[in-house]
Amino acid sequence: MGKGRDMSLYAVVDPATGDVVQEYPTATDEQMEQALAAAAKAHREWSRSSTVAERAALIKQVAKLHTERREELAKIIQREMGKPLDQSEGEVDFSAAIYEYYADNAEKFLADEPIDLLDGEGSALIRRSSVGVLIGIMPWNYPYYQVARFAGPNLTLGNTIILKHASQCPESAAAMQQIFTDAGFPEGAYVNVYATNEQIAEAIADPRVQGVSLTGSERAGAAVAEIAGRNLKKVVLELGGSDPFIVLSSDDLDSTVESAVAGRLENTGQACNAAKRFIVAEDIYDEFLDKFTKKVLEKADNLAPLSSVAAAERLDEQVSRAVDNGATLVSKGQRKGAFYPPGVLTNVSPDSPSYKEELFGPVATV
């Protein structure tokens, strides 16, 4: 990144090279108002006049366009956040499958559900209906998948979407906006915005917005939850995690190790639901650690970069702090730009702050 670049500016920065590929200016306040007005109008007019079957057909077309544009979409996120091409293609396929799933099952999922009365006359039912404009705040690690699982069911239901993607994913954000437009969604049904955090805070408070969904850091989640709570808005938060991979015994330790390595290094270790802490029974600990460490280090030569230099620097600081607090690190090589060598930490004390931290990269704690 060049010195002096406005960090609120959306930009594609190739993590493999550090080159700024393209910059995108943030939205003006006028553009944000246009987005809110368009989304509210689309819900008021399109959502309330369309059927579930009609909306499902549009989502089906979104799935089809993901498949047709698979190669182009995959190269975009490889450029934006360094994901290996085969994994990028897999993410596009998975996203298409999510849209197709909601399209195929929409009428079943949204059918009226009768309720048996315990007493009295009459009838009762549960009906699932749209609520209005929703804001989605999406992360960089799965640029298409995260949007699919939010936009797919909500657009099928009839909610309209204002989507703020991560600042390093503006090209994939634009590509998705084009897909929804080309699929036939009306103006305002799905609106991509290159918004600042301050603009999103104001939008959450806007009475036209009924809810917000965020996938991101604990810090971002706390900020969004505070604004949503103060304005009595529905909020869904999917934050970080440090999931355990527990090994109590195994009749095929080599296979277990392969699964452990895959669980830690998928997406170069940048997944909130990845295995990060490996808890192993004492009687097989040494053998597991030896096999696991060798397999992790073997991945060094073909490992993709992290999403950015800043991400690699943050991981480096965390690992260094763990070592300073008494942990043992076995690794291969040194950080070079956004490339971070895989490694294994042991002897991390429960009293160390590192014991409770999420490591977002190719480093495992055993």
Residue 135 has a CB neighbour count (10 Å cut-off) of 28
Say what angle helices 170-183 and 70-81 make with each other, to 10 degrees.
Answer: 160
Q: Which residue's structure tokens are 């260094």?
A: 320
Can 272 be counted among the known catalytic residues? yes
Cα 161 to the center of its chain, rounded Å: 16
As a three-state string, the secondary structure of 238-302 is: ECCCCEEEEECCCCCHHHHHHHHHHHHHHHHHCCCCCEEEEEECHHHHHHHHHHHHHHHHHCHHH
Can 238 be counted among the known catalytic residues? yes
3-class secondary structure, 152: helix
Alpha carbons within 13 angstroms on the beta-carbon side of residue 99 total: 28
Rounded to whole angstroms, how far apart are CA atoms 66 and 161? 18
Rounded to whole angstroms, how far apart are CA atoms 17 and 73? 20
Q: Which helix (H) or strand (E) holds 321?
A: helix 309-324
DSSP state of 19: -
Which residue in the list 80, 100, 171, 272 is annotated as catalytic?
272
Rounded to whole angstroms, how far apart are CA atoms 181 and 177? 6
Which residue in the list 23, 202, 238, 258 is annotated as catalytic?
238
Rounded to whole angstroms, how far apart are CA atoms 147 and 169? 12
State both tokens at 63.
Answer: 């799935």
Q: Which helix (H) or strand (E) holds 363?
A: strand 363-365
Nearest to 311 by CA among 90, 139, 87, 195: 139
- The catalytic residues are 238, 272
